[in-house]
Amino acid sequence: MTQEHQGGSRGWSAARKGVWSRLRLTSLRLRLVVVFGLVALTAAVSASGIAYWLNRESVLTRTQDAVLRDFEKEMQNRAGALPEHPTQDELQRTAGQMANSSQRFTVLLVAENPEGQTVYGSSGGLNGFSLGDVPESLRETVTERQKITSGNKYPHHLYWQRIVEDDTPYLVAGTKLIGGGTTGYMLKSLEPEAKDLNSLAWSLGIATGLALIGSALLAHAAATTVLKPVQRLGTAARRLGEGKLDTRLRVSGTDELADLSRTFNKAAEALEKRVADMAARDEASRRFVADMSHELRTPLTAITAVTEVLEEELEFEGGGIDPMIQPAVRLVVSETRRLNDLVENLMEVTRFDAGTARLVLDNVDVADQITACIDARAWLDAVELDAARGIHARIDPRRLDVILANLIGNALKHGGSPVRVSVREEPGGVTEGAEGTEAPGEGAEAADASGGTVVIQVRDHGPGIPEDVLPHVFDRFYKASASRPRSEGSGLGLSIALENAHIHGGEITAANSPEGGAVFTLRLPRDVSAAESGEKSGDAGNEGAEGDA
């Protein structure tokens, strides 16, 4: 049950990550949906706004024209029948008659009675329509006498205005009888029309929302159509980057995406051919170096034996070598040794390149191993050792000796004396992951500690390494100065040292000390076999580079 639950949790997490990856802000799918949605929203809002405005004006204008015509007719027929100075009862009665018209508006009539007093007559609807309900600007316009001109034949006209009271729209109109007399005002509620317009607005809003949803669905479908080839292209590119050079895309159609897929297939085919050619040339080069090294060993063995005899003759006081040819003999001896070292280094490099190297692990005292390396090469007077006994590590002693010999020899050759070698312990593992190694057979003595790192520093007191040379010190056959193409070394020493460190799961770094001189730092795990087992258990599917024999 626990495994099922964990599996379900992982599945849900993967699905959620997949959805989020499709909807992240930088997703082309989301951007397409947003753009489609904005376009649809803009179009729908614009169309709905125009439709609402046109319908609103049509509804209000139609209602307004009908009310104003009716009011104007009532004013002419009924208010026009009143005497010039009516009484309040006459005004009240006439206002009630006018309010009973087909449009059912409220009427307020204003006039002067025979005594010269202003009297009012209201139909009494809408809680009493009074002169205070009429906007002052409208009252002034209605009562103002207009100048008679050729274009204006009457001193008074019908004026109207829309107002809002308590969120309810109203139409207010007023006019004065031609020739003087009664002034009439009308108040008409536009609430039914407002409700109709609100219903229309809701309908248009719903239509806009549906259009937005529809555009989002269409955008999603369009994005899926467009992005599926792009996703397939991305997957194929990742597979190509992982080294699966036979990856190809299925091409269908004649659009731009199909052209892109064809271009990708052509590029992948060209890359596969180029990599295959390079791999073949590299393999041929490695095979040539390996064959050449093996072929050279046979004559070199004979030459080395002869040079050893010549060297013994040189050291023997009563030897039979002519003093005139002794320098030449010494040159032959030294060059033979150099050639022998070069062949051995080339064979070592080919083993690393071919992946046939192996480690022979043993439990060693690091201080004793460094001392033995220095003593075997007669470097005791030129090297200062700062290493406490008792620091044990499970490593390959021969390969550690090769690393130390190259680092210390390089410091003595190119740096300045004295060369200082220091050893310390650090908790934890090496930063760089260990490459695969092959542990020795059973019965080997276990290391004192299964974890931690041994750090060995080799520092000289020379001028240091130029900054432009520093990134290339471990390159094969790299020479800092093109004017000195020939040197005593083979140009492979530091490269072989780095490969030996890597096969242990360690690392070598080069830097310049602030106090002067170059510093090479070697970091090795204290137990290579434990580092190897941890690497394999952490990633059982990864292939590690094999060790050296």
Distance CA 526, CA 426 (A): 10
pLDDT tens per residue, range 284-329: 776 776 676 667 777 777 777 777 777 777 776 555 667 777 788 7
Domain extent listing, the chain: 28-198, 245-357, 358-428+450-480+489-533
Contact 193, 55 (CB under 8 A): no
Interval 497-511 mean pLDDT: 89
User: Closest by alpha carbon to 257, among 223, 220, 221, 216?
Assistant: 223
Interval 345-371 mean pLDDT: 80
For residue 336, name the pLDDT band (cuts at 50, 70, 90).
Answer: confident
Query: What DSSP string runs through 72-123?
Result: HHHHHHTGGGS-SS--HHHHHHHHHHHHTSTT--EEEEEEE-TTS-EEEEE-
User: Closest by alpha carbon to 382, among 318, 312, 461, 309?
Assistant: 461
Q: Which two tokens stand for residue 184?
A: 């009439």
Length of the chain: 549
Q: Cα 25 from chain centroid?
A: 10
User: Closest by alpha carbon to 333, among 354, 355, 349, 310?
Assistant: 310
Q: Check whether 111 has a pLDDT greater than 50.
A: yes
Distance CA 264, CA 248 (A): 8
Residues 6+ apart with CB under 8 A from 99: 105, 106, 107, 123, 125
Of 173-187, 295-309, 345-359, 434-448, where does mean pLDDT reach its minimum? 434-448
Given this model, what pLDDT does residue 3 score? 46
- The total of other beta-carbon atoms located within 10 Å of residue 236's CB is 19
Q: Check whether 172 has a pLDDT greater than 60.
A: yes
User: Closest by alpha carbon to 415, among 446, 442, 379, 447?
Assistant: 379
Q: Check whether 447 has a pLDDT greater than 80.
A: no
Of 74-88, 128-142, 478-492, where does mean pLDDT reach its minimum? 478-492
Contact 548, 357 (CB under 8 A): yes
Distance CA 136, CA 328 (A): 129
Distance CA 301, CA 315 (A): 21
- The total of other beta-carbon atoms located within 10 Å of residue 138's CB is 17
Check residues 479 and 312 and name the one with the higher pLDDT. Answer: 312
Class for domain 358-428+450-480+489-533, per CATH?
Answer: alpha beta
Q: Check whether 533 has a pLDDT greater than 80.
A: no
Given this model, what pLDDT does residue 327 score? 80
H or E stretch including 395? strand 392-395
User: Closest by alpha carbon to 415, among 517, 490, 322, 320?
Assistant: 517
Question: Any idea what the Cα angle at residue 150 is, between residues 148 and 152, rounded to 5°?
Answer: 50
Distance CA 371, CA 367 (A): 6
Check residues 449 and 83 and name the one with the higher pLDDT. Answer: 83
H or E stretch including 67? helix 28-77
Given this model, what pLDDT does residue 159 score? 87
Q: Check whether 450 has a pLDDT greater than 60.
A: no
SS3 443: coil
Contact 505, 428 (CB under 8 A): no
Q: Which two tokens stand for residue 257?
A: 């995406």
- 28-198 belongs to CATH 3.30.450: yes
Whole-angstrom CA distances from 334 to 305, 348, 489 are: 13, 21, 12
Check residues 310 and 206 and name the one with the higher pLDDT. Answer: 206
pLDDT tens per residue, range 54-71: 777 777 788 888 888 888
Mean pLDDT over all residues of the chain?
77
What's the topology of domain 245-357?
Answer: Helix Hairpins (1.10.287)
Distance CA 47, CA 69 (A): 33
Given this model, what pLDDT does residue 229 score? 79
Check residues 511 and 434 and name the one with the higher pLDDT. Answer: 511
Given this model, what pLDDT does residue 429 score? 54
Question: Cβ-count burial of 103 within 10 angstroms (0-12 exposed, 13-18 middle, 19+ buried)?
Answer: middle
Percent of the chain with pLDDT over 70: 79
Given this model, what pLDDT does residue 547 score? 35
- Please list the helix, strand and coil fractions of the chain in percent, rounded to the nearest 5, in that order: 55, 15, 35
Interval 222-227 mean pLDDT: 74
Q: Check whether 192 has a pLDDT greater than 80.
A: yes
Contact 532, 439 (CB under 8 A): yes
Q: Check whether 444 has a pLDDT greater than 50.
A: no
Distance CA 311, CA 337 (A): 12
How many Cα atoms are found within 13 Å in the side-chain-facing hemisphere of 64?
Answer: 18
Interval 19-23 mean pLDDT: 49
Contact 106, 165 (CB under 8 A): no
Of 85-89, 277-281, 282-286, 304-308, where does mean pLDDT reach its minimum? 282-286
Given this model, what pLDDT does residue 437 score? 40
Question: Any idea what the Cα angle at residue 305 is, between residues 324 and 289, rounded to 5°?
Answer: 110
